[in-house]
Structure 1
Amino acid sequence: MLNSNFLSHNPKCWVLTDGKAGMESQCIALADTLGLKPTLKRVSIRSPWAFLPPHLWIFPLKALSVKSDKLEPPWPDILIATGTKTVALALSIKTINPATFLIQIQNPTMSISKFDIVIAPKHDCLSASNVVSTLGALNSINKRKLNDAFTEFASDYLGLPKPLIGVLIGGNNKNFHLTQKRTENFAMMLREAVNNIGGSLAITPSRRTSENSLKIIKNTLSDIPKFIWNGSGKNPYLGILAHADYFIVTGDSVNMVSEAIATGKPVHVFKDFGGSKKFDRFHNSLEKLGVTRPFSGRIEKWEYEIIDEMTLVADAVKKAWNFSKN
């Protein structure tokens, strides 16, 4: 947490995103770790700015569409931004109000020196004195949250056969494609895993999981003890993180893998439906550290030390803040 003198000034903080849940959650997690209560600013960009890289934006604040939250004075003391569409906007605010302490999460794809601090995963391969490299995505998973979720969702999961295997499913993006054939293969592997070890599955899809993929999984696992979230009611994601003994996570989401390994439990990653150099670097680094293992249809048990990246990042932000004010 930032030093008490800083917090005593009740700094005004904005979180600036384009509304993507996975990106927004990282900003909020950082603000929470720093003891800040941010104002959420979701931006919507109009043409032609929406189609241009940030270094080509002229008069960035004019890029906001009518659907966007307003960006106007009084400017924040701290601005936490993420996503390509926020880069030029964040730098514009910094130019108008140099006192704003600018934190950019993930690679801003332009001059790093213009930011007070950049927090990016190691697989982005950024290097500078104001860059903090993390293994994965920032997240708010900690013992307190897991304990609270364990209690809250006890009635949902304690009745399922043990061990409970949490299955976090993503879907298609520009690097991964969960086709029908690949989904059928994945579903058969889930079936094999339960048949080998016993227990049950707690499955939660994401917004990118197609209805067809879910249908295939449900049909393939029709006689397997399980819970599959249907999208209604309270999101059980934290409950699954708290109650599962093991995890199987699709490799298309750095966020989901990062949140699963924050529990300290064995995390098996299903990657056989795509990839990229960046994703390969991410998954390979975790495997080399003994944190994750590829999912092959069998559940394995191992231990690893939880890496408290949020504390490391918060300490780096504190140091950068103190440097900027001296």
Structure 2
Amino acid sequence: MGQGAAAIWVLLGARHGDNQQLLAIAQALGLPYRVIQLQFNAAAALAPVLLGATRLSWRTRDAEPLQAPWPPVVLAAGRRSVPAARWIQRQSSGRTRLVHVNRPWAPLSWFDLVVSTPQYALPQRENVLVNRLPFVPGEPARAVALPASLQQHAAAMPRPWTLVMVGGNSRPYVLDGSAAIALAQRVNEQVRSSGGSAWVLGSPRTPATAMDRIERALEIPAQVVRWGRAENPYAALRRTADRFIVTMDSAAMLTEALLSGRPVLPFALPARPDWRWRLASTWRAAAERAPASLLARSFDALQDLGWLSSTRDVGLLVRGLEAAGVFDGQGRAPELARQERQATVTRIRRLIDAS
């Protein structure tokens, strides 16, 4: 869209999941928006508090330059996009409002709104909106056919279908050999209990060795589809599967399964945290036990400054969703998502109206 008509600028980075959330929010707002693809250099590894509102770490792929009229709102996600969002805000003389998705790894006070989910354990702030589900695209409105190369296999697979969505290594979670075998055993148990067969889909992060182990350990009728080896049947299976098993390394994958309204079984991957994750987790836990202590105040202060990032603990997300009763396939997840999406859109529209 032409920049003169764009009420929203959407800064896309390198992470597909982040980009999908940003685009879903922009589309839900129902306003003209401009998509800007960012590219980053080695300086992007520096903390946003060091880079400030500069162009040292990023550039755009767009033919259109970034220039006035500046947008009322910028949507962004990820640490590396923060300098770009702040640079745009500076060019607008502070009039552009900043909306950040997930965690910014930067002072929360820099943003007019941070839209997050429980796994990031952000502190309570007026400008932080914590939803229980990420803002991801809903289930496709139209049926999608299975790729022709898989239709013969599908005809031979008994119903009901269990769709197994396999992620991979995503710090601090790992899909190693033992986790792969444990996942296959869980699939065996589920299919023996419910009957039918299983589709096992890999993702870009799934190690090839893990998929090999899963396939060898499966003892029930199953079709294993490796990422990039064939046409991707995910869109079709998401609509037609009867139940899901999802590895807990990706909140977006889990949410997409839940939005089907059918039963979902999350599968926990083992965590292998580095020293930074262990330090932040231990510090956060101690702060929660004594919220009025100096330890808690120092933790909050360092988070506000962006020097100490919140840890990503998908277990926090799953526990919140379990409390909401969304895993049993009774349709609670789509309704919860609808309510949270509306709350998010309302908050952003208020920023646009006030700009």
- Secondary structure of 2:244's match? strand
* TM-score of the aligned structures, taking structure 2 as reference length: 0.76
1:137 alignment partner in structure 2 = 134
Distance in 2 (alpha carbons) for counterparts of 1:275 and 1:119: 27
Give, as a single letter, the amino acid of the residue that structure 1 aligns with 2:103. N
1:320 aligns with 2:347: no
Q: 1 CA distance for matches of 2:88 and 2:230?
A: 39
- Given candidates 66, 73, 80, the residue that maps to 2:67 is 73
The one-letter amino acid of 1:290's match is G
Hey, what does 1:290 align to over in structure 2?
Answer: 325
Match of 1:89 in 2: 84
Aligned counterpart in structure 1 of residue 117 of structure 2, from 115, 121, 133: 121
**8 Å Cα contact 2:200-2:225 kept in structure 1:** yes
The residue identity in structure 2 corresponding to 1:192 is: E
- More deviation in 56-65 or 193-202? 56-65
- How many residue pairs align between the two structures? 302
Secondary structure of the corresponding residue to residue 43 of structure 1: strand
Q: Which amino acid aligns with 1:240?
A: L
2:106 matches 1:110: yes
Three-state SS of the structure 1 residue aligned to 2:138 is coil
Residue 303 of structure 1 aligns with which residue?
330
CA drift of 1:222 comes to: 6.8
Structure 1 residues 180-189 or 249-258, which shifts more? Answer: 180-189
In structure 2, do the counterparts of structure 1 residues 62 and 274 end up closer, same or farther at CA, with 3 Å as the change threshold?
A: closer
* Cα pair 1:199 1:225 within 8 Å, conserved: no
Residue matched to 2:236: 239
Alpha-carbon distance, 1:318 to partner: 1.5
Aligned counterpart, 1:39: 34
Query: What SS does the aligned partner of 2:55 have?
Result: helix
Alpha-carbon distance between aligned partners in 2 of 1:219 and 1:39, rounded to the nearest angstrom = 47
For residues 110 and 222 of structure 2, the distance between their equivalents in structure 1, rounded to whole angstroms, comes to 53
Displacement of 1:302: 4.8
Superposition deviation, residue 154 in structure 1? 9.2
Partner secondary structure for residue 202 of structure 1: strand
Determine the C-alpha separation between the residues in 2 that align with 1:169 and 1:232. 15
Contact 2:136 2:255 in 1 (8 A): yes
Aligned 8 A contact 2:7 2:71 in 1: yes
Residue identity matched to 1:112: L
Q: Provide the C-alpha distance between the structure 2 equivalents of 1:35 and 1:238, rounded to a whole number of angstroms.
A: 24
Q: 1:317: how far off? A: 1.4
Q: Is the CA contact 2:10–2:36 (under 8 Å) kept in the aligned structure 1?
A: yes
Sequence identity, in percent? 24
User: What SS is found at the alignment partner of 2:332?
Assistant: coil
Aligned to 1:193: 190
Please give the residue correspondences for 1:229-268 in structure 2 after superposition, counting only pairs within 5 Å.
229-232=226-229, 234-268=231-265
2:54 to 19, 39, 60: 60
Q: Displacement of 1:290 after TM fit? A: 1.8
* Worse-matched range after superposition: 222-231 or 75-84: 222-231
Structure 1 residues 99 and 232: CA distance shift in structure 2, 3 A: farther
What's the offset of the Cα at 1:128?
2.2
Displacement of 1:85 in angstroms is 0.4
The runs of at least 4 consecutive aligned structure 1 residues that moved more than 6 Å come to none
* Higher mean C-alpha displacement, 35-44 vs 80-89: 35-44
- Partner in structure 2 of residue 13 of structure 1: 8
Q: RMSD value over aligned CA atoms?
A: 2.7
1:53, distance to aligned residue in structure 2 (A): 1.0
* In 2: Cα distance, 1:161 partner to 1:16 partner: 44
> Given residue 22 of structure 2, which amino acid in structure 1 is its aligned partner?
C
Amino acid of the structure 2 residue aligned with 1:286: L
- 2:152 pairs with 1:152: no
Code of the residue aligned with 1:182 in structure 2: it is A
Q: Structure 1 unaligned runs (5+)?
A: 1-8, 293-300
- Cα offset, 1:10, TM superposition: 3.9
Q: 1:255 to 1:220 in 2, by over 3 A?
A: same
Whether the 8 Å contact between 1:229 and 1:236 is mirrored in structure 2 is no
Question: 1:182 is paired with a residue of what secondary structure?
Answer: helix
